[in-house]
Structure 1
Amino acid sequence: MSPAQKAYVIGLDGGTGGARALLSDLDGNVVAMATHDYETTFPLPGWAEQTPVDWWRAACVAVRKLITGAAIPVDRIFAICADGTSSTVVALDEQLEPTMPAILWMDNRASPQARSMTQSNDPALRRSRLGVSSEWAIPKILWLKENRPEIFRRSRWFVEMADYLALKLTGKLTLGHNQITNRWFFDGRRGGWPEAFFSHIGLDGITERFPQRIVPLGTAIGKITPDAAEAMGLSWDTTVVAGGTDAYVAMLGLNVCAPGRTAFITGSSHLVLPMTDKDIEVPGIFGPHPDCVIPGLFVMEGGQVSSGSIIRWWHDHIGKALKPGEDAYAAMMREAAAIPIGADGLVALDFWQGNRNPYIDYDLQGAIWGMTLKHTPAHMLRALIESVAYGTANILRTLAGNGVPVETMVVCGGATRSAFLLQMHADVAGIPIIVPKVPDATAFGAAIAASVGAGLHASLADAAAHMVREDHVVEPDMTAHRRYREAFSFYEETYQALHPLMHRMARRNEVTA
């Protein structure tokens, strides 16, 4: 069948660093990809912001690059679906224009509000019993009301990044069922919005500022607007399909659509996402989130705020300076791999923007100790990378200790570009890691959702089963696993020793607006 006869779909991923567009046929063959970056600003310690207009500009550039590179007739591109980072809060005025920069998912300015919400012990907290994440949208909206009341008053609507992209594509204001289930305390099985909880914490009537049309993942929102079609180079007949939280959309791109399968999302942050049919709570883990990916099933969530972003920080501030004129990432990884397990006594913590799971403590900070004159920058990098792998293992241990064992994971994202990183994660965890043919599972998952919303596949599970294929498996070295297990104990005990000091430092640095 010629390209002029086949059907194609676009997945658009609004990531932390930029927009990524992917074009796939209905058999899961990726035809082309394109990216365009945007900036993040850090106005104060723990804060992180982006400009929504930059997202839309980058999305249009990426899709135009994609279409140019693919040379596919645009009338054969039937649908587009956008996911986004979450919780990245967008406040809109009556004219649907942003009233302020978007508060990025990693921003932890709302830690006091999250602590206050946790102390309420409200039944709405059943999926975050040990603590509300300061990353989530509701604490951030409460922060805005308490600290920027004039902006709060001007903000008619609150949405997520994926909702904003859908708005720009269709002109329709919607709220994704996926992201409000796993981030906004919405529970379709227990009455929807927890109005009493919102009133109790000081957000009485807030749901009136949430779009009333709630769209499940993979549902058609409508046709693209002529203006958006022109900006992206698409046909006016293109269907726009509801996306959701980037990592949850990536579960489709990894075919994690059945109980017992687990997604391992790597990038600026790491996520471990088991799919289960059990409505079971695990202390320190978020969930179980019902029906937000596959109807009838639940998703558990364990995440690290800082993982790939730590390695990126090292590259940008140290790696490029140490290795000018060459591939700094490759050189960094090569030198770190040459350092023995345990980094010759260096121990690091990966809490550079706090800890999401299992401690749910955003007052924690990164640390590294054990330095001697023997140690080199490669030792430091090795210790930092090990801390990321230990953070993942800590989540897996928490799940297993509460009746949700993870026996293997399907991986996507940045770690797939490094055999060293993948092997370390397999060795530290002591489980096999499956690598799919398409490692960019987030944009690919959005494309899979697009195919369902356009009526080209029957269901999300059917589409994923048809389009996703396995490439290879990274088996753990159990001898290395035993050595890492000893080093992991230092990671755990370092957290226990330092967290009181870290809390004191957080109070010292806390900004009262």
Structure 2
Amino acid sequence: MSYVIGVDGGTESIRARVFDLSGSCLGSAAQPYATQFSAGARAEQNPEDWWTAMGTALRQAVAQAGIAPADVDAIALATTSCSVVALDGEGSALRPAIIWMDVRAGAEAADVLATGDPALVVNGAGEGPVSAEWMIPKALWLARQEPENYERAATICEYQDFMNLRLTGRRCASLDNASIRWHYSTERGGYPKSLLAALKLDSLLEKWPDAVAAPGEVIGTLTQRAAEHLQLPQSVKVVQGGADALIGMIGIGVAKPGQVALITGSSHLMFGVSDRPAAARGLWGTYADAVYPNRHIIEGGQTSTGSIVNWLRRLAGGNLNLNAMNEEARKIAPGCDGLLSLDHFQGNRTPYVDASSRGAFVGLTLAHGMPHLFRATIEGICFGSRLIFERMSQAGFPASEITIGGGVVASELWLQLHADIAGLPVSVPKASEAPSLGAAILAATGAGHFASIDEGIAAMVKPGRRIEPRQAEAAQYGEIYERYQKLYPALRGFCERPSASA
């Protein structure tokens, strides 16, 4: 028998899962690690904690699966993106990793955008924003604020690359991470040399890994040290993965042009697969070859989604029964008796790209109760999703269906409203932890069990439910959506803080 391991390196923990070649998970284990927060929106982790935690989780997963370590063929990782590490010549961290949620590099991000370099086409068709989370702003911050660490760094890379270096001894970047957050492009000659030159950061090219491997490509086999740490044979292949959300696309089977992955949780992330490049203000991408060869990925997202539902639970004193609330909200007609919600509780990520925008409930009466607030919240989020899908269509990417993974799949109401409001069918595959399954599919492909990632998806991703839009409800929501679209322009700037001189 042959088995593969998919590793999901998240923000709070790392999870290892053992899969067979049909996609069944045989063993799973997770290990947490700490994040250090400090003033200035800073968040850091110790890379050694990642390595220690992976060893423990992987050994436990293999033991739970009850398989012989010699039967493991390959391993691949899906990790948080934009978690930047600076390493010395021996591969040890010079300082804690600046993880994805750290936004200390806000000024540097503005300086990157100000260059106007052609590589910025992936940032809203060149209009921005450039996120302070991304690789180049963080590297520029290091060069300016910690020049001693920057100069000493032999390698500046990400969580993904650090782990693969530890596993194989090879310095190799992920085409996925580099494409979506380093401004790397297979269509524009690789690394963004002119952008780095404009920032006087040419030296970063020497610190980035020379090799770049696409998801599914073999990086190498385990070093003796790594094999001992994981208690696996040195013959185990290490296969390139990438950013957790995008590798999660593979785990829910989104690979064909026209498909959209909707990854849900505290926020919504949308990744569309296209057979041609597309760029538009208010969207990120497209990223050529970032997940699949000869295909592009277009990206959108909503900052607050599941987090708004959690906010409602807090308002209810933590006693909001979601199953009961879903059932009560289901009985309410579309439009919630005139109640409308704007989903911008923490600003708008796309398509308005407005961090100062805020959420609102409009049309409240004394007849409205918590079920109305609950349903209006979900409807508002689904309207925000539709707005992004329409912007994608304007960019030349018309979505044909939505495949959903994450917390939303537990709510039949939410799934149906996404279908009704977007006017698109919704698929919910039987995915077991999409990022780790996606990584396992890449591992199996790299090990030679499948000729392509698509073939691996066909074998390892199990189809699940399909929800069709209801025509009558879709027509009703078309009218309500027009009202939703008027909310943001009407409320724009209303919640801005007055100036100090006012």
TM-score under structure 2 normalisation?
0.87
Measure how far apart 1:85 and its partner are: 1.7
- Read off the aligned partner of 1:68 and give its amino acid letter: A
- What is the match of residue 353 of structure 2? 360
2:267–2:306 CA contact under 8 A, matched in 1: yes
C-alpha separation between the residues in 1 aligned to 2:376 and 2:84?
33
- Pick closer, same or farther for the CA change 1:496–1:124 going to 2, 3 Å: same
C-alpha separation between the residues in 2 aligned to 1:483 and 1:50?
48
Measure how far apart 1:448 and its partner are: 0.5
Confirm or deny that 1:133 pairs with 2:130. Answer: yes
Confirm or deny that 1:224 pairs with 2:222. Answer: yes
- Read off the aligned partner of 2:129 and give its amino acid letter: V
C-alpha separation between the residues in 2 aligned to 1:77 and 1:223?
12
- Pick closer, same or farther for the CA change 1:46–1:216 going to 2, 3 Å: same
Measure how far apart 1:431 and its partner are: 0.9
1:411–1:439 CA contact under 8 A, matched in 2: no
- What is the match of residue 145 of structure 1? 143
Confirm or deny that 1:190 pairs with 2:188. Answer: yes
C-alpha separation between the residues in 2 aligned to 1:332 and 1:43?
37
1:319–1:332 CA contact under 8 A, matched in 2: no
> Where do residues 7-406 of structure 1 align in structure 2 (5 Å cutoff)?
7-40=2-35, 42-44=37-39, 47-128=42-123, 129=125, 130-134=127-131, 135-311=133-309, 317=314, 321-322=318-319, 330=323, 333=326, 341-342=334-335, 345=339, 347-350=341-344, 352=346, 354-361=347-354, 363-364=355-356, 366-370=358-362, 380-406=373-399
- What is the match of residue 511 of structure 1? none
Measure how far apart 1:230 and its partner are: 3.7
- What is the match of residue 453 of structure 1? 446
- Pick closer, same or farther for the CA change 1:308–1:64 going to 2, 3 Å: farther
C-alpha separation between the residues in 1 aligned to 2:384 and 2:38?
27
Which range moved further: 443-452 or 104-113? 104-113
Which range moved further: 17-26 or 484-493? 484-493
Measure how far apart 1:471 and its partner are: 1.3
Secondary structure of 1:188's aligned partner:
coil
* Percent identical: 38
C-alpha separation between the residues in 1 aligned to 2:371 and 2:57?
35
Which range moved further: 134-143 or 394-403? 134-143
- Read off the aligned partner of 2:356 and give its amino acid letter: L
Confirm or deny that 1:434 pairs with 2:432. Answer: no
Measure how far apart 1:332 and its partner are: 5.9
- Pick closer, same or farther for the CA change 1:167–1:192 going to 2, 3 Å: same
- Read off the aligned partner of 2:343 and give its amino acid letter: L
The CA RMSD measured in Å over matched residues stands at 3.1
- Pick closer, same or farther for the CA change 1:258–1:39 going to 2, 3 Å: same
Secondary structure of 2:493's aligned partner:
helix
Which range moved further: 477-486 or 289-298? 477-486
- Pick closer, same or farther for the CA change 1:218–1:336 going to 2, 3 Å: same
Secondary structure of 1:243's aligned partner:
strand
Secondary structure of 1:500's aligned partner:
coil
Which range moved further: 445-454 or 31-40? 31-40
1:91–1:99 CA contact under 8 A, matched in 2: yes
C-alpha separation between the residues in 1 aligned to 2:278 and 2:216?
26
1:286–1:302 CA contact under 8 A, matched in 2: yes
Confirm or deny that 1:472 pairs with 2:470. Answer: no
- Pick closer, same or farther for the CA change 1:399–1:466 going to 2, 3 Å: same
- Pick closer, same or farther for the CA change 1:430–1:157 going to 2, 3 Å: same
- What is the match of residue 3 of structure 1? none
C-alpha separation between the residues in 2 aligned to 1:257 and 1:156?
36
- Read off the aligned partner of 2:207 and give its amino acid letter: R
Measure how far apart 1:433 and its partner are: 0.8
1:142–1:202 CA contact under 8 A, matched in 2: no
Measure how far apart 1:450 and its partner are: 0.2
C-alpha separation between the residues in 2 aligned to 1:47 and 1:313?
24
Measure how far apart 1:78 and its partner are: 0.9
- Read off the aligned partner of 1:463 and give its amino acid letter: G
Measure how far apart 1:499 and its partner are: 4.2
2:340–2:484 CA contact under 8 A, matched in 1: no
- Pick closer, same or farther for the CA change 1:474–1:300 going to 2, 3 Å: same
1:110–1:143 CA contact under 8 A, matched in 2: yes
- Pick closer, same or farther for the CA change 1:157–1:332 going to 2, 3 Å: farther
Equivalences, count: 495
2:26–2:64 CA contact under 8 A, matched in 1: no
- Read off the aligned partner of 1:359 and give its amino acid letter: Y
